Structure 1
């Protein structure tokens, strides 16, 4: 008898719920339709925003004058955007304890690039010590396949020679103009090869 009563109660409860739903469905529909439309609108806006960002980055050109007027942080962000333009999903990591890496990008074919940014006066020169630091941390700390030092100034002769010898690429003012202003892709400008099985600078532990 107890079991039968429970079944009857369950059936009545279910019936009441169905009736209540049948009576309330117009109200639920009025709530659901605007909510669905709002979600769809947000999704469309997000997609459109991503398309606009991609289009903006694809057409990104920065003059040397614009780069010279930036501070260190803005310069790092600009280099990040230029890498993204060239097909390297990149992020700015510069700051205290960055271990000689201001921007890191990962390419599906060419692997990981580590960029050290040196924003300076136009007449300023980057010395060999910067190249030593990048060489020492690009692999052990960041797992890089390619390491690059970029400046809006120039490099000392020893810094360029040392970088060429030990595989630390350098981008001086003229190369920066071709990259940022003319629109040349960095990997083409520097002749960066596809990633090999072992990273040039070793993998991070």
Structure 2
């Protein structure tokens, strides 16, 4: 048996015509609402996608810009002297990064004589103990004892360094030289921070064989 074709009956009378018109208006409003929603969704997705692409593109660019700035980093001793303890630690971190170390500032209460820790693929792990002080002040030998006692056992350091913008006593320098605790006094700090000489050259560090 063949199915009968369904015929759409035209509205009859004013009541049916009014009802049909209302249904048509409602359908049109629904379609417009759906289209607007889709449009807003596409616009939103486009904006989010564009933002993600820009962020992804800017990330490496910002990293390269920071690397270039650090590569040219020079810090005059007058600027160092004007720093507080924490700013001095961050400055030492940036100088390490300039010289090819991956470094972070870790100084805080109970830091076990380590203010900056860094790593270099050919030089190993380094620990810096920062002593920001008055220019005429001198770091005593007791600081060398502390660094020697914690750099290796507590931090696994291959290189331990005491850094000051002042000076070190004769005993501190001699003890450090005997027990492999490196030191940077004001003159050596000037060569590193202000003159741009890499730390490994200032301290005459030996690179590991590949």
User: Do the two structures share a fold, i.e. TM-score over 0.5?
Assistant: yes
Q: 1:58 aligns with which of 66, 71, 81?
A: 71
Matching of residue 112 in structure 1 with residue 125 in structure 2 = yes
Residue 55 of structure 1 and its aligned partner are, at CA, apart by: 1.0
Question: Which residue, 172, 176, 192 being the options, matches 1:159?
Answer: 172
* Matched residue SS, 1:116: strand
Q: Work out whether residues 76 and 92 of structure 1, in 8 Å CA contact, stay in contact via their aligned partners in 2.
A: yes
The structure with more radius of gyration:
2
Following the alignment from structure 2 to structure 1, what is the Cα–Cα distance between the partners of residues 47 and 89?
43
Q: Give how far 1:42 is off.
A: 1.0
Who is 1:203 aligned against? none
CA RMSD of aligned residues (A): 1.7
Corresponding residue number in structure 1 for 2:190: 177
Q: Does 1:86 align with 2:99?
A: yes
Q: TM-score, length-normalised on structure 1?
A: 0.80
Q: CA deviation at 1:195?
A: 4.5
Q: Which residue of 1 aligns with 2:159?
A: 146
Q: What 5-or-longer segments of structure 2 have no aligned partner?
A: 1-33
Deviations 1:76-97 (A, max 9, x none): 0100000000011100110100
